[in-house]
Amino acid sequence: MKKIAAVESFFSPEHRVTLEKTAAECGFSVDYYPEGHLPADRAAEYEVIYGLCPPDELKAAANLKWFCCSFAGVDAYMNEDIYPSKDVMLSNSSGAYGITISEHILMVTLMMLRQMPKFEEIVRAREWEKGLSMRSICGSSITVLGTGDIGTNFARRAKALGAKVVRGVRRTKKAGDPAYDEMYTLEELDSILPETEILVMALPGTRDTAHILSRRRIGLLPQDAYVVNVGRGSAIDQEALVEALNEGRLAGAALDVCVPEPLPKEHPLWSAKNLLLTPHISGNMSLGITRDLDVALFCEDLRNYAAGRKLQRLVDRTLGY
């Protein structure tokens, strides 16, 4: 029987039942590596690997045909040299993170608009001060840069909260989800930045997205704009962002991702003004619904794989997503 290595710690007994049942139907058995490592002396047994197998452990899987990453962001798996062969397919778990990450975006956006970090500071000092100005998602102009599962889940929520306009920006012109009022290509981004009150970035880490929010583009945002980044830290010119924040040229930023991670203790990001920093937690696997979806998406693609159909979440390694 062909074999799957499930290299992940989060599987519940119910997840294992689902995995094993689907695997059996597809002619596979499943071995678990909950400690997150694939032993080199067993790696050659597996045709399929699912989970967060460290990039440097894939090479030993001489018979590997498909690696399904349990994360949505696969930039750590883009280097061709880590694979035993060019023909190994890479897929991701895009679709499992839309709910949890869009709730994170909503939370940090509201926290910034409603001055929550300042109110928390007031309460820590046991003061009772109320007079800080607030804004609302209702009536706001929002730009979502990266219109995949995460960006689109947020766009839907922002519309439900009464955003005035939600603009989606993507690499190429395609019909957008109805959650977006208007769709733009990357080439048109500069023209909408001056009207953007909240810029949400949910992009994969690729060559094309590096420093996409450049110093020049930061300068195009209005002074009262907020920036949220949940994709990859590399998408922002961090030095320019820190300067803009400290000089009050932006109202604030919420970064769940940065360069490098973890952030060194002396890094200027820690103390940037009006910066709401979180340690790359927006997609935390601890959310039950994320885990359930992750397993369901793998099983769906396992059926595709077994039937010889194209994988739903196949990653194009030349594009990076």
Nearer to its own copies, 116 or 210 (CB): 116
Q: Which is nearer to its own copies, 139 or 219 (CB)?
A: 139
Binding mask 86-105 for its own copies (x = CB under 8 A): -------------xx--xx-
Interface characters, 117-146, with its own copies (x: CB under 8 A): x-xx-xx--xxxxxxxxxxxxxx-------
Name the segment binding its own copies (CB under 8 A); options: 88-96, 207-215, 219-227, 272-280.
272-280
First-to-last alpha carbon distance for the chain, in angstroms, is 31
Q: Is 156 in the site for its own copies (CB under 8 A)?
A: yes
Q: How far is the CB of 183 from its own copies (least distance, A)?
A: 22
- Cβ atoms within 10 Å, residue 285: 17
Q: Binding of its own copies at residue 289 (CB under 8 A)?
A: yes
Residue 111 near its own copies by CB under 8 A:
yes
Q: Does the footprint of its own copies cover residue 107 (CB under 8 A)?
A: yes
Q: C-beta of 268: minimal distance to its own copies in Å?
A: 12
Which residues, 6+ apart, have CB-to-CB distance to 240 below 8 Å? 214, 215, 218
Query: Nearest approach, Cβ of 276 to its own copies (angstroms)?
Result: 8
Query: Does residue number 277 form part of the binding site for its own copies (CB under 8 A)?
Result: yes
Please tell me the number of Cα atoms within 13 Å of 80 on its side-chain side: 7
Q: Which among 76, 75, 71 is positioned nearest to 57, based on CA atoms?
A: 76
Which CB sits closer to its own copies, 26 or 263?
263
Q: CA 289: distance to chain centroid? A: 16
Could you give the CA distance from residue 58 to residue 179 in angstroms, rounded to a whole number?
39
Nearest-approach distance from CB 30 to its own copies, in angstroms: 25
Minimum distance of its own copies from residue 173's CB (angstroms): 28
**One-letter amino acid for residue 130 of the chain:** K
Query: For residue 240, which phi and psi values (nearest 5 degrees)?
Result: -65, -35
Look up residue 208 and give its DSSP letter.
Answer: T
CA distance 32 to 163: 45
Q: How far is the CB of 101 from its own copies (least distance, A)?
A: 11
Closest by CA to 281, choosing from 299, 315, 258, 298, is 258
Q: Between residues 25 and 261, which has the closer beta carbon with respect to its own copies?
A: 261
Q: Name the one range near its own copies by CB under 8 A: 14-22, 158-166, 196-204, 236-244.
A: 158-166
Site string for its own copies, 243-262 (x = CB under 8 A): ------------------xx
Residue (125 or 307) nearer to its own copies, CB: 125
Please state the closest distance from residue 188 (CB atom) to its own copies, in A. 29
| Site residue total, its own copies (CB under 8 A) | 50
* 62-66: long-range contacts, CB 8 A cutoff, minimum separation 24: 64/88, 65/89, 66/91, 66/305, 66/311
For residue 270, state whether it binds its own copies (rule: CB under 8 A). yes
Any contact of residue 40 with its own copies (CB under 8 A)?
no
Q: Which one, of 279, 314, 320, 318, lies nearest residue 75 by Cα?
A: 320
Q: In this structure, which amino acid lies at residue 173?
A: K
Please state, in angstroms and rounded to a whole number, the distance separating the CA atoms of residues 75 and 233: 12
Strands across the sheet containing 182-185:
182-185, 165-170, 141-145, 198-201, 226-229, 252-255, 275-277
In the complex, the residues that contact its own copies under the rule CB under 8 A are 99-100, 103-104, 106-107, 110-111, 113-114, 116-117, 119-120, 122-123, 126-139, 156-157, 160-162, 261-263, 265, 270, 277-281, 284, 286-289
